[in-house]
Chain A
C-alpha cells in the first residue's frame, strides 16, 4: 500500500465553523507533513511531524492546529478561518530517516477547502 489517503476531498466552511482534515498512511513512514497550495503556486510547508512529534511549524496561524494521534494518522483542526485560507491542503509522508537528504515524499490527493 503506497497511498496517502485524505478526507474529505472537498470542504466548504464558514468563518465561525470548526472542522478537521484527516490523513492516513500505512507505509510505516515516520514523518508526516501538511502543505497548503494555492492555485498555480507550489506547495507551501505548514507543519512536519517526525515520530509523532511536531518538529517544524512554519509560523502558521493558530487557527490551524495539527495533531498526530499515532504514526499512521495526521489531522489538521480548523477554527475561525478566513476566506484567504481557501486552498488545496495536501498531506504527505516520508520515511523520516533523513538519510543524506533523500526524503521522498508521498502525497495524498488533497482537500480542496473553501472558506466563505
Chain B
C-alpha cells in the first residue's frame, strides 16, 4: 500500500522548533516531499529528499529520513507566525504505468502562537 500518515495538528510557540512527522508504507518510494499550503492557496514545494539519504538541510528546514522505520520528519527551526499552514508529506512511487505521481498524506496543521 501507499498510505501516508501524519498527525493532524501541531501547536508551537513563536521562536521554538517545530517537528512534523510522517510515516509511509511503500518501501519502494524514491523521493519524499514536504509541501506547505497556506489558507486559500495552492501547495508549495518546500523541500524533498531522495530515499538513499538520511538528512537534508535547507536554511531553517531539516528533513530526516529513517528508511528502516519508514519515518520522515520536517524540523522548522525558529518557527515564525508566517510558518502557520498545513504541511503535507508526499511520497513518489513507481506504479505499473511508470509515472511518478506523488501521493499526499492528510496534512498537519501547524499553529504558531506568540
Interface of chain B residues 55 through 88 with chain A (CB within 8 A): 88
B100 contacts across to A, CB distance below 8 A: 98, 100-103
A74 to B106, CA, bound (A): 26
B101 contacts across to A, CB distance below 8 A: 33, 45, 48, 56, 103
A56 contacts across to B, CB distance below 8 A: 97, 99, 101
Interface of chain A residues 1 through 52 with chain B (CB within 8 A): 4, 6, 33, 40-43, 45, 48, 50
Instruction: Report yes or no: A110 in contact with B94, Cβ–Cβ below 8 A.
Output: no
- A-side interface residues, number (CB < 8 Å): 27
Cβ of B27 under 8 Å from chain A: no
Instruction: Report yes or no: B43 in contact with A90, Cβ–Cβ below 8 A.
Output: yes
A98 contacts across to B, CB distance below 8 A: 98-100
B contact face: mostly helix, strand, loop, or mixed? loop
A106 to B102, CA, bound (A): 12
Interface of chain B residues 89 through 114 with chain A (CB within 8 A): 92-94, 97-102, 104-107
B30 contacts across to A, CB distance below 8 A: 100-102
Instruction: Report yes or no: B45 in contact with A102, Cβ–Cβ below 8 A.
Output: no
A64 to B101, CA, bound (A): 20
Out of A43, A109, A110, name the residue touching B104 (CB < 8 Å). A43
Question: Which has the most chain B C-beta neighbours within 10 Å: A4, A45, A112?
Answer: A45
Partner-B contacts on A (CB < 8 A): 4, 6, 33, 40-43, 45, 48, 50, 55-56, 90, 92, 98, 100-110, 112
Given A4-B42, A101-B29, A103-B31, 13 other A-B residues pairs in contact with their CB atoms under 8 A: A41-B106, A42-B88, A42-B107, A55-B97, A92-B42, A92-B43, A98-B98, A101-B31, A102-B100, A105-B45, A108-B42, A110-B40, A110-B42
